[in-house]
Amino acid sequence: MDVCLRLPDDSDGGEVKQLYDWLLAERAVDLDAEISLRGDPPSESLLGDDFDVMGDVLDIVQLVVESSFQLASLGFIILEFRRARRPRSHVVVERGGRRATLRPDASPDEVEEFLRELDAMNEPPDDEPPGGGTP
């Protein structure tokens, strides 16, 4: 199962790197996942004669986890990261075209909703083939 984490308000990529390092440390303890940093290609509207891409901006943490992995567990890891680091950016978790967003100043009710949305993502989307692969 592929899961992407974005911090859209992180303009310099510092918080994404901190989250990536945090997840690597969790993997050493109990998170069984392939974890990588990757860049999101610039949108076509940004490309043109006046736009020059100097290199990849690594702004997405990608996890490849077993299908039995519970995304709510990832939610608790993200909450631990936020308590320790106090990031300024939203955290967006995406899987199969669905997303859950946690604001930096989320209320307890919003945190609960974020965890419920992650839990709902455990069910594969209608267009995902059996086995959790990408269509």
| Residue-level pLDDT, tens digit, the chain, 135 residues | 889 999 988 888 889 999 999 998 887 667 778 899 987 654 443 334 443 334 445 678 998 887 667 788 889 999 999 888 877 889 999 998 999 999 999 999 999 999 999 999 987 666 555 555 544
Report DSSP letters for 60-110, one per residue.
EEEEEE-TT--HHHHHHHHHHHHHHH--SS-EEEEETTEEEEE-TT--HHH
Q: What is the pTM of this model?
A: 0.75
Name, in order, each residue with C-beta under 8 angstroms of 130's C-beta and a sequence gap of 6 or more. none
CA–CA separation, 77 and 25 (whole Å) = 11
